[in-house]
Amino acid sequence: EAGVTQSPTHLIKTRGQQATLRCSPISGHTSVYWYQQALGLGLQFLLWYDEGEERNRGNFPPRFSGRQFPNYSSELNVNALELEDSALYLCASSLEPTNQPQHFGDGTRLSIL
Amino acid sequence: QQQVKQSPQSLIVQKGGISIINCAYENTAFDYFPWYQQFPGKGPALLIAIRPDVSEKKEGRFTISFNKSAKQFSLHIMDSQPGDSATYFCAASGFGNEKLTFGTGTRLTIIP
C-alpha cells in the first residue's frame, strides 16, 4: 500500500511569490491534514480537509489556503511568501475524521530566499 | 490549554538501556495520544498510540504509560538500540477537534 505522497520534495521561492504544494493521501483515506514544521518550533497544525470541505484551520494568516479535490488529493497554497514561511510542510491522511491515526508523508521543504 | 509539554529536549542513552520521554497536557478533552518517530529527511511515523481508557500499552520494545489524573503520558523504549536514534514527538487530539497538537520533540541518541 502506497503511503502519503507529497510533491515537490523541495521548492525554492523568493519573497512575495506564491507556492503550491501537493499531497496524495493513502488510498481510501478521506481526511487530509497539513502541518508546518519550522526549525525549532515543532509541528503546527495548518489545515484539515475532509470530503472536499475545509473543516478546521490553525492560527495562520489567510494567505495560507488550500483545497481538496474529488479524488481526496489536496494542495496547499501560500501567497505573498515571507522569509518566515521557510519550513517543512507535512501532509497527513486518515481513514476518516474521527478515526485516527494520521499517517504522514515526507514533506515538502519550502525555502524562501 | 491546547499545549502539550514534552521533556527532555534531548536524551542520550547507552545501548541496551531504557529511554524515557515524558509529556504533559492541560486540555481534558484530549482523548487520543500518539507518539511519532522522525528520522532526518523523513516525515513523522506513527510509533504507538493510547486512549485514556487504559493506563498502559505495549508494542514490542515500546510502551506508553498514561496517567489520566496527572494528565501525563510517557514513552518507554526498552533495550534501546542505535537504530532508535531519532526525534520523538508526543501528540494529542480530541473528538470533534481532530487536529494533532504536538509536543516540541525529543532528540534521542543511543550510544554504543
The reported pLDDT for the residue numbered B13 is 98
Side chain identity at residue A105, one-letter code: G
The x, y and z cell numbers of residue B35, run together, are 507518539
The reported pLDDT for the residue numbered A42 is 84
Q: Is the pLDDT score of B1 beyond 60?
A: no
Partners of residue B44 in chain A, C-beta under 8 Å: 43, 90, 104
User: In angstroms, rounded to a whole number, what is the distance separating the alpha carbons of residues B107 and A85?
Assistant: 24
The reported pLDDT for the residue numbered B95 is 74
Residues with Cβ within 8 Å of A85's Cβ and at least 6 positions away in sequence, in order, are: A19, A78, A110, A112
Q: Is there a contact between B45 and A58 if contact means CB atoms under 8 Å apart? A: no
The reported pLDDT for the residue numbered B101 is 93
Which H or E element spans position A49? strand A42-50
Q: Classify burial at A87, counting beta carbons within 10 Å of its beta carbon; exposed 0-12, middle 13-18, buried 19 or more.
A: buried
Closest to A101 in 3D by CA, of B60, B47, B30, B4? B47
Q: Is there a contact between A43 and B102 if contact means CB atoms under 8 Å apart? A: yes
Name which of A73-82, B24-33, B80-89 the model is least confident about.
Answer: B24-33
**A58: closest chain B residue by CA:** B99
pLDDT digits (tens, 9 = 90+) for B32-66: 999 999 999 999 999 999 998 999 999 999 999 99
User: In angstroms, rounded to a whole number, what is the distance separating the alpha carbons of residues A19 and B2?
Assistant: 29
Q: Is there a contact between B43 and A102 if contact means CB atoms under 8 Å apart? A: no
Residue-by-residue pLDDT tens, chain A, 113 positions? 689 999 999 999 999 999 999 999 999 999 999 999 998 778 999 999 999 999 999 999 999 999 999 999 999 999 999 999 999 999 999 987 665 789 999 999 999 99
Sheet holding B56-59, edge to edge: B4-7, B19-25, B72-77, B62-67, B56-59
A100 touches B: beta carbon within 8 Å: yes
Q: Specify the DSSP class assigned to residue A83.
A: G
**A9: closest chain B residue by CA:** B41
- What sign for the dihedral angle of Cα B57, A42, B71, B2? negative
Q: Is the pLDDT score of B104 beyond 70?
A: yes
Query: How much is the average pLDDT of B62-91?
Result: 97
- What sign for the dihedral angle of Cα A96, A102, A103, A105? positive
Long-range CB pairs of A68-73 (<8 Å, 24+ gap) are A68/A32, A72/A25, A72/A29, A72/A30, A72/A32, A73/A22, A73/A23, A73/A24, A73/A25, A73/A32
Q: Is there a contact between B49 and A101 if contact means CB atoms under 8 Å apart? A: yes
User: What 3-state class would DSSP assign to A2?
Assistant: coil
